[in-house]
A = this chain, B = another copy of it.
Amino acid sequence: MIVTPQKARFTEPLRLTGGAVLPEFEIAYETYGELNAARSNAVLVCHALNASHHVAGTYADAPDNLGWWDNMVGPGKPLDTNRFFVVGNNYIGSCFGSTGPTSPNPATGKPWGADFPVVTVEDWVAAQARLADHLGIERFAAVMGGSLGAMQALQWTLSYPGRVRHAIVIAATPRLSAQNIAFNEVARQAIMTDPDFHGGHYYEKGVVPVRGLRIARMIGHITYLSDDAMMEKFGRVLRRVTPGFDFDVDFEIESYLRHQGDKFSSYFDANTYLRITKALDYYDPAADFGGDLSKAFARAQADFLVVSFTSDWRFSSARSRDIVRALLDNRRILSYLEIDAPQGHDAFLLDDPRYFAALRAYFGNIAL
């Protein structure tokens, strides 16, 4: 499936949760399949931390560049693009084409950099609603995401209850725990204390806070995998014949983490990383309801599919059950799957047959 990324430009200012105003913005997106005449078959796919609008397929000029959820989305796949019109989008504040810290600030003509405001999950959803308007989609058949993407799916049911029929909420939490925030804060501190960060104004210095980004990514990777999965994959296997008694790579896991850190720091924007982790930290739909998630979801109208993975310790199944309880309190129509998968948080990207069969069945039952 060959796809072409597109951009939509929005010139009406967007007032953000934090009070700042984006005078104008762009959203990078891709679509797969055809919007039907009734405009009833659109599915919005929301991405997590380091992914993008490139959900499925490849590009004509880059046949190896496969979308990040290509196993899930495409012709004949669980989210079948022969039946659904799927929209991938890059949220604002990211660094893959939508307006973010690397974009030009209209007030100065130079990149926003440190001056780009902190955006929230609610802001992402508000911007996505503009994209829906642009595409002529009044109501999505479904909004779907994993991890941070799942927060967007949840928020759609709260910001625009009438515009989403099904929310598909995978490997989610309704709000970060103190431990989740703690990991984010360490990553932010690693970036912000890197001497090449320059208070976020590193573009004009011609440098990148590579050291901080490496550390941030290494920490992230540890939380994406379960202890058991990491032991299964890397064990205590040495990269050398014997221990080196120095500080070069001894164990496979060290080599893997350094490689992941190096790769990430070569393409990801540090100002974006800071803002995404803040959006995660802040997200709490129950905050305006005295912490009561059931009250927060009283205005939701969608049906829900909630999926969690037993070995996910980043956003554990207990957090998905918090969501399920709040939805049951509101008598929402609901399916909940707790998949016994060993891979940790990353399981949501892998094609466990039970997980994929359930998604296929769920989408198959959505009337168009």
Contacts and interface: CB of A to CB of B under 8 A. Distances in A.
Contacts of A218: 182, 185-186, 189
7 contacts: A118-B246, A181-B236, A182-B221, A189-B214, A190-B190, A227-B313, A247-B278
Contacts of A252: 178
Given A227-B177, A281-B251, A117 B245 contact: yes
Interface string A187-221: 01110111100000000000000010011001101
B258 A189 contact: yes
Contacts of A274: 247
A11 interface: no
Nearest to A235: B178
A303 interface: no
Given A222-B183, A236-B284, A284-B236, A231 B188 contact: no
Contacts of A192: 247
A212 to B, nearest CB: 9
Nearest to A194: B211
A359 B104 CA distance: 65
Contacts of A215: 186, 189-190, 193, 215
A257 interface: yes
A186 B18 contact: no
A185 to B, nearest CB: 5
A109 interface: no
Contacts of A186: 215, 218-219, 222, 257
Given A227-B179, A230-B178, A251-B178, A189 B261 contact: yes
A264 to B, nearest CB: 13
Given A185-B257, A214-B189, A282-B243, A175 B231 contact: no
A234 interface: yes
SS class of chain A's interface: helix, strand, loop or mixed?
helix
B177 A231 contact: yes
Contacts of A179: 222, 225, 227, 230-231
Interface band, chain A = 35 or more
Contacts of A261: 189
Contact of A181 (B182, B233, B253, B284): B253
Which 4 A/B pairs are nearest by Cβ-Cβ distance? A18-B245, A178-B230, A118-B245, A193-B211
Contacts of A246: 118
B19 A178 contact: no
A338 interface: no
A8 to B, nearest CB: 26
Nearest to A210: B193
Contacts of A313: 227, 313
Contacts of A250: 281-282
A254 interface: yes
B19 A245 contact: yes
Nearest to A258: B189
A242 to B, nearest CB: 10
A176 interface: yes
Nearest to A118: B245
A18 to B, nearest CB: 3
Contacts of A117: 245
Contacts of A245: 17-20, 117-118, 278
B247 A178 contact: no
